[in-house]
Amino acid sequence: MRFAVAEDAAALRDAAEALLAARATPALIRSAWPGEADPGEGGKDGLGGVPAVWRGLAEIGVTGTLVAEADGGLGLDENALPPVLSRIGHSGLPVPAGETIAVAVPLLAAAGHPALPDVLSGAALVTAQLATPAAAELLIPFGQTADYVLLRADDGELRVYERGELEAAPVPAVDGSRWLARLLAKPAGGVPVAAPADAAAGWERGVLAAAAILVGLAERMLSMTVDYVTVRRQFGVPVGSFQAVKHRLADAYLAVEFARPAVLAAGWAQASAAADAAEQTSVAKVLASDAATTVARAAIQCHGAIGYTTEYDLHLFAKRAWALAPSWGSANWHRRRLAGSLCLTKDVCLTKDGSEPDG
Amino acid sequence: MDLTESPAEQAFRAEARAWLEANVPRPALPSGDTRDGFAAHLDWERALFEARWSVVSWPERYGGRDASLWEWLIFEEEYYRAGAPQRVTQNGIFLLAPSLFEFGTPEQQDRILPRMAAGEELWAQGWSEPAAGSDLAGITSRAERDEAAGGWRLYGQKTWTTRGAFCTHLFGLFRTDPAAERHRGLTYFLADLRSPGVEVRGFERLDGDEGFADVYFDGAFVPERDVLGEVNRGWSVAMATTGSERGLTLRSPSRFVTAANRLVELARSGTLDPAGPDSAGLGSVGLGSAGLDSAGLDSAGLDHAGLDAAGLDSGLRDRVVQSWIEARAYHLFTLEQVTGIVAGDSPGARSSLNKLYWSELDVRLHETAMELLGADAEADGPWSRGFEFSLAGPIYAGTNEIQRNIVAERLLGLPRA
């Protein structure tokens, strides 16, 4: 037994963290927001300095984490996803990181799709929306800026589309840097890249990635808040010396510290094809979604009025958390999925070996 | 990451499971916090010791198996899985012993540990006093030198002492230098409760068991050899002991994983009517179809979850699932923690994270069970007893308010008031 990040996954995490610390500044994130950026017809090319940082991550291998070395990737498995994705979440870099690294790239590689080299290099941006079969009204994150979009067909198969193939309209979003688009019609065309079984595995990896990013966001918001309440003085003392503030932040930290190992464990369960990998993935997403929204709430409250402004950077991270917490299945959705596997639903419920459950 | 068990660990698990299945008393013993129940539990403790399962992680010469921390966790899993009795020896084995291994002399270890392991000497913890609970450094019980007799004489009162009326010994802090700053001048003593000058009076806890005691010291003698650590340096030894109480050793994850699994079974049993009265004519009470009402996610092809409630209110069902998730989260947290300990880390203030998490998940879990039981909840039984006991968790081992201060100040680095 050893519950610790392996050396190769830690090396990737550390390299990404160093690059992001140097380049993914709040100013850079803001350069990809509406009002600063203008993707227009150019898509990702209108996103300020963000695409260059994404290419920088691609150069150190982040996009190809799950791709075999022979195909230009790092040849790692799902164990490597939580460490690196949580650092991307921590940075706030507005990119479809989970959609690319965990979901689309391994499927494009398996399908031998010609876009793979450009996606791996960061020259092309890909996004994914697998929650429901693609149809009018579906919201697609980065739908205005991605060059390629991965969607689910009615039969469970996944297809990849060029952005121009889709009828979609821009949608203003809470986190403006996500450049949402809404489908106006059921998509036609596209290229199949995954059969339903592979699509299901892709969904699980997408859930894992979202959970990891949420943990990173929570860590960032918590550290910003600890720094702030240590220097902000009221009544002649730092506000962080008040017990009400301490207890609120202790609870926020507790939520993060118990979500983080669960996300690592879900990565291990997926990589080792554990029988309960889906359950472990749901556990991770519940804890990560709840931790991120708990921390966002505590962070804004403990900052006071400055936390309720856009001039201060906290909102960049809080809004990302509010976008990701309900995506890839909300905490409630995953609790209900677990209720099914725990035989707490009306449906016929068989255990793994096919017998009726105890009790 | 490698969460698989080695062949040796699997064999260890199989051996523990087989022995427990053959030996765990049925029906379950009466509460170990009553006089009769305690005696029955002592018989069990001695059976555990005879089979060398009472202190698996200790050296063989003290009755253990030299088991690794991973094997200890496995044993705990099997122990709770088997529904084996509570460990009435726990305050010795899980709290005092780690401090004895760290601070005790070889003479103390050789003399005390084997009798503790065998259940021959039973240890109570002596921290709290009537005027010193959370503020442990405010204790006023004292020890005075008795040079002629070669030791110390204890004076004062300890209270809320768990199983104090049934134990033979007590470890605790006593003030030995009244002039010193309050965290200094304290000494950690190992006292024999059968000595002249000790009076123990049991009293009832909230659950009605005689699980608490007041312990009065009026000149009871403790020889020099029963000081643990250095004179006037007892605070740091006591902090090591409380770290064990808050963290892994007293409250291993299996306790909560097992409780959560039982909660799921309770919810599944299908005969429950959490609403209480027959709802016909009383208006809808929220039973029946829950549906995937708010998620908006179509899961076809992506999961295997049925989405209708089985006689369970969906809000209550979510709470059952949440308790199961939290028990699992605590388990995973401890796996990471054990990996760190095996690599040489000390959990330190992080044991306050353990304590906050297990104690509050335990309360939520039992509150959910009481709601599931509905009108039956008021009948005395394992769930109602578990519920009452869970309310002690956020208090003992340092109240959770104190733990939150520790987390904020020592882990997050927030300024002291």
Cβ–Cβ below 8 Å for A243 and B417? yes
Find the closest chain B residue to A79 by CA distance.
B1
Q: B176: which 2 tokens?
A: 């030995």
Distance CA A255, CA B196 (A): 50
Which amino acid, residue A166? Answer: L
Question: Residue B309 forms beta bridges with which residues?
Answer: A345
How is B292-311 classified by DSSP, letter by letter?
STTT----TTT-----SBSS
Of A2, A131, A250, the CB nearest to B408: A250
Cis peptide bond N-terminal to A82, omega within 30:
no
Q: Which domain CATH number covers B345?
A: 1.20.140.10
Looking at residue B311, its pLDDT comes to 59
Q: Which residues of A touch B343 (CB under 8 A)?
A: 4
- Given its phi and psi angles, is residue A16 left (phi above 0), alpha (psi -120 to 50 degrees) or beta? alpha
Identified catalytic residue from B245, B265, B378, B388: B245
Asked if residue B377 and residue B258 are part of one domain, the reply reads yes
A249 and chain B: CB distance < 8 Å anywhere?
yes
Distance CA B158, CA A270 (A): 52
Per DSSP, A321 falls in state: H
The number of angstroms, rounded, from the C-alpha of A335 to the middle of its chain's C-alpha atoms is: 19
Specify whether B5 is catalytic: no
Which amino acid, residue A96? Answer: P
Walk across the sheet containing A191-194 and list its strands.
A126-133, A148-152, A158-162, A191-194
b/e for A60-95, b at 16 or more Cβ within 10 A? bbbbbbbbeeeebbbbbbbbbbbbbbbbbbbbbbbb
A197-341 CATH: 1.20.140.10
- Looking at the domain assignment, is residue B82 inside a domain? yes
- Looking at the domain assignment, is residue B241 inside a domain? no
- Looking at the domain assignment, is residue B110 inside a domain? no
Asked if residue B265 and residue B226 are part of one domain, the reply reads no
B295 and chain A: CB distance < 8 Å anywhere?
yes
This prediction's pTM: 0.93
Is ipTM > 0.90 here?
Answer: yes
Asked if residue B229 and residue B146 are part of one domain, the reply reads yes
Cβ–Cβ below 8 Å for B292 and A336? yes
Distance CA B65, CA B319 (A): 40
**Bigger pLDDT: B279 vs A104:** A104
Across A14-42, average pLDDT: 95
Asked if residue B134 and residue B63 are part of one domain, the reply reads no
Give, rounded to a whole angstrom, the gap between the first and last alpha carbons of chain B: 41
Strand pairing category for A158-162 and A168-170: unpaired
Q: B88: which 2 tokens?
A: 């009435």
Asked if residue B221 and residue B128 are part of one domain, the reply reads yes
Domain boundaries defined on chain A: 197-341
Question: Residue B125 forms beta bridges with which residues?
Answer: B171
Coil, helix or strand at residue A252: helix
- Looking at the domain assignment, is residue B292 inside a domain? no
b/e for B356-369, b at 16 or more Cβ within 10 A? bbbbbbbbebbebb
The length of chain B in residues reads 417
Domain count, chain B: 3
Distance CA B316, CA B334 (A): 27
Give residue-wise pLDDT tens across range A33-85. 999 999 988 899 889 999 999 999 999 999 999 999 999 999 999 999 999 99
> Of the candidates A37, A131, A53, which has an alpha carbon nearest to the alpha carbon of residue A88?
A53
- Looking at the domain assignment, is residue B93 inside a domain? no
B22 and chain A: CB distance < 8 Å anywhere?
no
pLDDT classification of A348: cutoffs 50, 70, 90: low
Give residue-wise pLDDT tens across range B31-69. 998 889 999 999 999 999 999 999 999 999 999 999 999
Asked if residue B375 and residue B260 are part of one domain, the reply reads yes
Distance CA B417, CA B410 (A): 13
Walk across the sheet containing A168-170 and list its strands.
A139-140, A181-183, A168-170
The number of angstroms, rounded, from the C-alpha of A55 to the middle of its chain's C-alpha atoms is: 18
Q: What is the pLDDT along chain B (417 residues), one digit of tens a residue?
A: 999 999 999 999 999 999 999 999 999 999 998 889 999 999 999 999 999 999 999 999 999 999 999 999 999 999 999 999 999 999 999 999 999 999 999 999 999 999 999 999 999 999 999 999 999 999 999 999 999 999 999 999 999 999 999 999 999 999 999 999 999 999 999 999 999 999 999 999 998 888 999 999 999 999 999 999 999 999 999 998 888 778 777 788 999 999 999 999 999 986 444 444 444 444 333 333 333 333 334 443 343 333 344 457 888 999 999 999 999 999 999 999 999 999 999 888 999 999 999 999 999 999 999 999 999 999 999 999 999 999 999 999 999 999 999 999 999 999 998
Asked if residue B258 and residue B223 are part of one domain, the reply reads no
> Of the candidates A295, A323, A324, A322, which has an alpha carbon nearest to the alpha carbon of residue A222?
A295
How is A267-283 classified by DSSP, letter by letter?
HHHHHTT-TTHHHHHHH
Helix (H) or strand (E) holding A158: strand A158-162
> Of the candidates A325, A330, A298, which has an alpha carbon nearest to the alpha carbon of residue A314?
A298
- Given its phi and psi angles, is residue A336 left (phi above 0), alpha (psi -120 to 50 degrees) or beta? alpha
Q: Out of B88, B104, B138, pick the residue that ends a domain.
A: B88
Q: B333: which 2 tokens?
A: 């947290």
- Looking at the domain assignment, is residue B77 inside a domain? yes
- Looking at the domain assignment, is residue B107 inside a domain? no
Range of the domain at B12: 7-88
Q: Which residues of A touch B310 (CB under 8 A)?
A: 344-346
Most B-contacting residue of A346, A350, A358 (CB-CB within 10 A), to test interface: A346
Interface A-B, measured as beta-carbon pairs within 8 A, has a size of 216
How is B97-113 classified by DSSP, letter by letter?
HHHHHHH--HHHHHHHH
Angle at A179 between CA A311 and CA A39, to 5 degrees: 95
A10 and chain B: CB distance < 8 Å anywhere?
no
Asked if residue B384 and residue B267 are part of one domain, the reply reads yes
- Looking at the domain assignment, is residue B278 inside a domain? no
